Homo-oligomer: A and B are copies of this chain.
Amino acid sequence: MEKLIARALEGDHRSIARLISLVESESPQAEIIMRKIYPHSGKAHIIGLTGSPGAGKSTLADKIIAHFKSLGKTVGVIAVDPSSPFTGGAILGDRLRMQQHAVDPDVFIRSMGTRGSLGGLSRSTQEAALILDACGKDVVLIETVGVGQSEVDIVKIADTVGLILVPGMGDDIQIMKAGIMEIADIFIVNKADRDGADRVATEVNMMLDLLGMRPWRPPVLKTIAERNEGVEEVVSEMTRHADFLRRSEEGRRRRWQRLGMEVEEILRREIAAMVEVAWEKEKSPELFELLAARKTTPYEVAERILGTILTETCD
Whether A179 and B266, one on each chain, are in contact in the complex, defined by CB atoms closer than 8 angstroms, is no
> Is A272 an interface residue when CB atoms closer than 8 A count as contact?
yes
Q: What CA separation (Å) do A288 and B291 show in the bound complex? A: 44
Whether B302 lies near A270 (C-beta < 8 A) is yes
Asked if A279 meets B305 with Cβ closer than 8 Å, knowing A256-B288, A299-B35, the reply is: no
B39 and A89 contact, CB distance less than 8 A: no
Q: How many copies of this chain? A: 2
Decide if A120 is an interface residue (CB 8 Å cutoff).
Answer: yes
CB-CB < 8 A to A292: which residues of B? 42, 255-256, 259
Q: In the complex, A255→B305 CA distance in Å?
A: 20
What 1/0 mask marks residues of chain A from 300 to 315 whose CB sits below 8 Å from any chain B CB? 0110011000110110
Closest to A256 in B: B288
Residue numbers in B under 8 Å from A274 (CB-CB): 271
The number of residues on chain A lying at the interface, defined by a beta carbon within 8 Å of a beta carbon of chain B, is 66
Q: Counting CB contacts under 8 A, is A31 at the interface?
A: yes
> At the interface, yes or no: A297 with Cβ under 8 Å from chain B?
yes
The answer to whether A205 has its CB under 8 Å from any CB of chain B is no
Q: In the bound complex, what is the Cα–Cα distance between A262 and B275 (angstroms)?
A: 13
Known: A260-B283, A264-B275, A305-B267. A299 touches B31 (CB 8 A): yes
A148 within 8 A of B: yes
Closest to A37 in B: B297
Q: Tell me if A298 counts as interface (CB < 8 A to partner B).
A: yes
Kindly provide the distance from the CB of A219 to the nearest chain B CB, expressed in whole angstroms: 20
* Segment of A57-65, A78-86, A101-109 engaged in the interface with chain B: A78-86
* A268 to B313 CA separation, bound complex (whole angstroms): 18
Rounded to whole angstroms, the CA-CA distance of A298 and B177 in the bound complex is 32
A-B contact pairs, 11 of them (CB 8 A): A31-B299, A84-B182, A119-B119, A119-B148, A147-B148, A255-B288, A259-B288, A267-B275, A267-B279, A267-B305, A310-B314
Instruction: Name the 5 nearest CB pairs between A and B, nearest first.
Output: A148-B148, A84-B179, A314-B314, A266-B302, A119-B149
Q: Which residues of A contact B (CB under 8 A)?
A: 31, 34-35, 38-42, 53, 82, 84-87, 89, 91, 117-120, 147-149, 152, 173, 176-179, 182-183, 255-256, 259-260, 262-268, 270-272, 274-276, 278-279, 283, 288, 291-292, 294, 297-299, 301-302, 305-306, 310-311, 313-314
